[in-house]
Structure 1
Amino acid sequence: MSSVHEPDARAIRALWDHMTRGWAGGDAAAFAAVFSEDCDFTTVRGEKPAGRAGIETGHAALFQGPYAATVLDARVTAIRPLRPDLATVEAESTITASDGTPLVSTHALAVVERTPGDRWLISTFHNMIPAPRPAPAPQETSVAEPTAPETAARPKLRHLAIVARDPEKLADFYSSVFAMELFHRDPDGSCFLSDGYLSLALIKHQLDGDTPVGMNHFGFHIEDTAAVSAALVETGAPTPAERFTNRPFAEYRGMDPEGNWFDLSEHGFGGPRPNTGD
């Protein structure tokens, strides 16, 4: 595969530079200007805003809400030319609070196209939070009898959430005592940690809210939301509801027969990858 010509590489990297400037200024129109009018954009939550206009509307809400006064650091890590007027791009991004505290890191795969006016625009953009790399399976020491393959992977309990008066203090506790790694902060002070397998959300208690402190909910990593939802409904449980939240760690919220909440996520709950010695 040939390398992209340097003038084109500069023009493509400039798209991400333009995004960061728009983000820094809280200017959703400037941020969205680098996307084509009919851009196929997928957020980390699997949402698909309608083209450039939808991207602008969605980011205007972010800039006025949870990501107000934050900073985006976006870095193009690879450009692969497909044709002289078409290329794929990989980019890494980190959002930080105004005091420099990292909030979330994402990875994006994009397709960029050269327009008839010789301008590059992003026509496809898929944003994601990299999932933790699974720990290597233990080495087998004996030959086991073959078993029939499972028809579907078993849902895995991967997430616990606690409503906390002081999330930072609790995060320090779990980091120092149990070596958990802090991998995300919300602008409201909520903290998210991981041991490389299970994520622990420490949700900031709102003084004017009626949610009690303590254990709040748990979450399952699943393969098929539709299948799990159908199984829940069959038991008489409510249909899981889509979560309209800016936290990128769960897509649906369900409830068991006794009213206990749980999250359902196909893409996982984020967090650091276990150290495999690579």
Structure 2
Amino acid sequence: MPEDLVAIRALTQCLAEAWNRNDADAYAALFAEDCDYVAFDGSHLKGRAANARSHRALFETVLKGSRAVFEADIAVRFLTPDVAVMHGYGSILLPWQRTVAPSRRSLQTYVVKRDADRWVIHAFHNTRVRPLKLPRGWMLRLIVGFMRIRAALAGNAPPARVMP
């Protein structure tokens, strides 16, 4: 299993190398044919071909010359001997950036599976790190009071309808 940990953690290095060459096909090749890829903006790509198409368009336009940077601390938890969940932090540096802006730091979740002789990414979810800043003092009391009034006024009202 130690060699599996090395191989799984190496996926982020392979992703970075492909990204840093702006090579959408090499990037997408690290994913399963039927992968699920959720980007930081909430877009959901289904399949390797969609992944390659999307990244090709990005590499040819707004992310041309960008670089992927992954932090070394990568957590891996095996669900079975052939399936693992991996969490790690990463960022994209735009061509003029030398350091990672805190607003561009993301937490990624990967589901990886051993397919034949290699580990492949089957699912990927990218979320920007945005620590919740709770109000304090009088502002917190005001918000809590407002929420209590709203709840009291709602009474036994049915739950709000979720928009499709």
Report the TM-score range of the alignment, normalised by the length of the smaller protein: 0.7 to 0.9
Q: Distance in 2 between matches of 1:136 and 1:112?
A: 39
Q: Deviations over 1:1-55 (max 9, x none)?
A: xxxx210011101211111011111100011111100011111121111211111
Query: Where does residue 85 of structure 2 map in the other structure?
Result: 88
Distance 2:151 2:30 in 1: 45
Kept in 1, the 8 Å contact 2:108–2:125? The answer is yes
- 2:131 is aligned with 1:132: yes
Q: Does residue 96 of structure 2 align to residue 102 of structure 1?
A: no
Q: Pick the aligned partner of 2:163 from 205, 220, 226.
A: 226
Question: Higher relative contact order at CA 8 Å, sep ≥6: structure 1 or structure 2?
Answer: 2
One-letter identity of the residue aligned with 1:14: A
Name the counterpart of 2:121. 122
Residues 1:39 and 2:31 are matched in the alignment = no
- Per the TM alignment, residue 91 of structure 1 is displaced from its structure 2 partner at its CA by 1.4
Can you give the 5+ residue segments of structure 2 that lack an aligned partner in the other structure?
A: 153-160
CA distance in 1, matches of 2:37, 2:131: 23
> Amino acid of the residue matched to residue 23 of structure 1?
W
Structure in which a larger fraction of residues adopt helix: 2
Letter in 2 for 1:93: G
Equivalent residue of 1:112, what SS? strand
CA distance in 1, matches of 2:89, 2:58: 19
After TM superposition, the structure 1 = structure 2 runs for residues 19-168 of structure 1, keeping only pairs within 5 Å, are 19-75=15-71, 77-99=74-96, 100-102=98-100, 104-115=104-115, 117-135=116-134, 137-138=136-137, 147=148, 150=151
Q: How far apart are the structure 1 equivalents of 2:108 and 2:136? A: 29
Structure 2 counterpart of 1:259: none
Query: In structure 2, the residue corresponding to 1:126 is in which secondary structure?
Result: strand
Relative to the length of structure 2, the TM-score reads 0.78
CA RMSD between the two structures: 2.8
Q: Cα distance, 1:226 vs. partner? A: 2.5
Distance 2:162 2:14 in 1: 36
User: 1:150, 1:123 → 2: CA distance?
Assistant: 42
Amino acid of the structure 1 residue aligned with 2:114: R
- TM-score relative to the length of structure 1: 0.48
- Corresponding residue pairs, total: 147
The 3-state SS of whatever aligns with 1:69 is coil
CA gap 1:61/1:150 in 2 versus in 1, 3 angstroms: farther
Residue 225 of structure 1: CA displacement? 7.7
Shift of 1:101: 4.8
Question: Stretches of 4+ moved more than 6 A in 1?
Answer: none
Matched, 1:10 2:9: no
